Amino acid sequence: MFGNGARKKRAQKRNSAKRSAPVGGGNDTVHAVQELQKRIQTLEKRHKFLELKSNNMKTKARQDVANKDKSAALHKLQQKKIIDKEASTLAASILKLQEQISELQLTATTGDIVDAMRLGANAQKKLQKKLNADDVEDLLADIEDMKLDNQEVTDLLSADYADVDPDLEAEFEELMADDLEQNINIQIPAVPNTAVSSSAKEDADAEFEKLLAGLEAAPSHAPKPPVKVAETTEEQELAALEANFL
């Protein structure tokens, strides 16, 4: 409770300070200093006059002493004492006025400092209002939301380019199939005709071996000349093969 009361009092003082006029040096201070300086000049003139008058009385008292006039000399010394007392009072007054001027100028300077500090404090309060913790938190949240929004827009734009038209996809698959078929046709070699020829040669060789075995098993007497029969196509091919081996 006491802490809250002290804070309230300080707040009330700050509010009253806001409504109060600046305490720095102004026209009133300058005018007061000028008036005090004028009074000091007047008193200094009076003090100088009294000093001259005091010296004059002292000179006259010496003359009376020289003339053996004791009564006149004492009278002039009495007047000199009164004059010196007034001069001393004026000197003290002048000193006080000078001190007052110094204090006034110091107060004005201090007031200028306080005014400058008040301006700085007010400016700092305005800045602190902008730097409220809740406001800063909201600002950071807004920035994060904007980043997410930008990322969402970027993703949407990227998705437009990433999605493929189904028709284009089908056409692409068709081209791939054609290309694959062409590659298969190129890679498979043509069946050589020599395969058939090799098989026929093997058959002819086997037939020749049979005939040769038959000749070896035949009797030694000369056979009767065979009746010449017209050769078939197979026999002609066999004869050609025998010619190649011979």
- 232 within some domain: no
Task: Let me know: does 104 contact 33? Beta carbons within 8 Å.
Answer: yes
- 89 within some domain: yes
Task: Let me know: does 62 contact 12? Beta carbons within 8 Å.
Answer: no
Binning pLDDT at 50, 70 and 90, where does residue 1 land? very low
- What is the Cα–Cα distance from 59 to 98, expressed in whole angstroms? 32
- 237 within some domain: no
- 74 within some domain: yes
pLDDT(117) > 80:
yes
Is this structure's pTM higher than 0.85?
no
The pLDDT score that the predictor gives to residue 67 is 92
Q: Which of 111, 90, 13, 11 is nearest to 45 (CA)?
A: 90
Residue 162: alpha-carbon gap to chain centroid: 34
- 245 within some domain: no
Task: Let me know: does 115 contact 24? Beta carbons within 8 Å.
Answer: yes
User: Average of pLDDT values for 207-218?
Assistant: 66
Number of structural domains, the chain? 1
User: Average of pLDDT values for 59-83?
Assistant: 94
Range of the domain at 125: 26-131
Inter-helix orientation angle 27-66/70-130, to 10° = 170
φ/ψ (deg, to 5) at 217 = -85, -5
CATH number for 98:
1.10.287.1060
- 95 within some domain: yes
E strands, the chain, where? Answer: none
Q: Which of 116, 101, 122 is nearest to 40 (CA)?
A: 101
Q: Where are the alpha helices (DSSP H) in 67-132?
A: 70-130
- 209 within some domain: no
- 36 within some domain: yes
The larger pLDDT score, comparing residue 84 to residue 126, is at: 84
Q: Which of 53, 50, 72 is nearest to 61 (CA)?
A: 72
